[in-house]
């Protein structure tokens, strides 16, 4: 594998340039980070210690103010598979997740979080699973939850039928609101991912993206590997409407309708997907049930909007 060359652009970010005549890595790993110093060093060691070696690790730093930059640059100086980018300002979770994908070049792509852990053969097993069956679009593993200290928790992941034969059956599973989207950190076919809307600037856009991927093909669970997902106790934003600013800082303090946005994005995903008429109609019918199941969330969007309007009127009246 020919290693990528690095150069600095006008904003002092590092930009990857693969040699035109050279080979690109088979796998791209994207690591979006922001103020990640507490777990980042261990996570980078875990990723770089994978038994599968033919990958690039693209890090996009969302203008961290802690030691994240120092940790990333230190590892990048020691391992040429790392390409480190630093944004001039915090662009939000969604933009940063999409950024690492847009900068990738591999046949397969995998998002990584700064505080999760994988068994050593995670990438190799997922690559083998996808290469063995071209119809599968995503490979992932069982999940075990750990606490902030790395101790195993009794919390269990929810098993979904993401290997169902019919697209609407997979879609029905993936639009559920009771699972934690760990498949998002599996290995995905880049060609399929390019046909989706990627991450949107709203909460649960990862759930929508998984549902859209499910419309394109089956997921496969690789055996004998584990994804350890860290459960965090700190809650910064209590409501989904307030969390919108995490995904898009430009929306901070503005009226948001995240449940309605999620509903609309599901409809758009159905429209984009390569489905026969029967499957498409069945997916639209499933969204009618989704509205009923999530009626409280949709109502909370309206209440939050009215509350923001009332707050604004009171603020203007007190001047």
Local mean pLDDT, 10-residue blocks, the chain (319 residues): 34 39 84 96 97 98 97 97 96 96 97 96 98 96 90 83 97 95 96 97 96 98 92 67 86 87 98 98 98 96 87 68
Q: Which two tokens stand for residue 132?
A: 């063995």
> What does the pLDDT read at residue 5?
35
**Residue 250 confidence (pLDDT):** 85
Q: Where in the chain is the domain with CATH 3.90.550.10?
A: 5-230
CATH code of the domain made up of 5-230: 3.90.550.10
How many residues does this entry show for the chain? 319
pTM: 0.89
The C-alpha atoms of residue 174 and residue 6 are separated, in whole angstroms, by: 39
Q: How far apart are CA 85 and CA 8, in angstroms?
A: 10
Q: How distant, in Å, are the alpha carbons of 248, 251, 316 from that of 254?
A: 11, 5, 16
Q: What is the pLDDT of residue 237?
A: 57
CA distances from 91 to 63, 163, 165, 173, 201 (A): 8, 35, 38, 31, 10
pLDDT at position 35: 96
Rounded Cα distance, 297 and 290, in Å = 11
Contact 40, 72 (CB under 8 A): yes
């Amino acid at each position: 594998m020919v290693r990528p060359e690095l150069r600095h652009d006008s904003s002092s970010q590092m930009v990857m340039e693969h040699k035109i005549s050279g080979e690109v890595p088979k796998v791209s790993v994207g690591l979006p980070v922001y103020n990640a110093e507490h777990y980042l060093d261990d996570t980078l060691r875990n990723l770089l210690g994978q038994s599968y070696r033919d990958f690039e690790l693209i890090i996009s730093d969302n203008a961290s103010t802690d030691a994240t930059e120092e940790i990333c640059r230190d590892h990048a100086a020691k391992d040429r598979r790392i390409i480190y980018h630093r944004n001039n300002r915090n662009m939000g979770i969604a933009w940063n997740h999409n950024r690492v994908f847009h900068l990738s070049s591999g046949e397969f792509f995998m998002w990584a979080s700064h505080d999760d852990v994988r068994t050593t053969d995670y990438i190799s097993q997922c690559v083998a699973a996808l290469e063995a069956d071209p119809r599968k679009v995503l490979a992932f593993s069982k999940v075990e939850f750990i606490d902030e200290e790395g101790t195993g928790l009794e919390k269990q992941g929810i098993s979904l039928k993401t290997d169902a034969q019919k697209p609407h059956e997979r879609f029905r599973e993936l639009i559920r609101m009771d699972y934690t989207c760990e498949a998002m950190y599996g290995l995905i076919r880049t060609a399929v991912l390019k046909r989706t809307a990627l991450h949107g600037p709203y909460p649960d856009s990862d759930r929508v993206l998984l549902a859209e991927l499910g419309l394109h093909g089956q997921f496969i669970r690789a055996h004998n590997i584990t994804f350890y997902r860290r459960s965090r106790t700190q809650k910064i934003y209590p409501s989904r409407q307030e969390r919108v600013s995490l995904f898009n800082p430009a929306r901070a303090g503005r009226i948001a309708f995240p449940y309605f946005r999620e509903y609309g994005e599901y409809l758009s995903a159905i429209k984009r997907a390569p489905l026969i008429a029967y499957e498409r109609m069945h997916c639209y019918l499933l969204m009618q049930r989704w509205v009923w199941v999530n009626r409280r969330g949709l109502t909370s969007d309206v209440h939050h909007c009215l509350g923001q309007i009332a707050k604004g009127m009171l603020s203007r009246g007190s001047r």
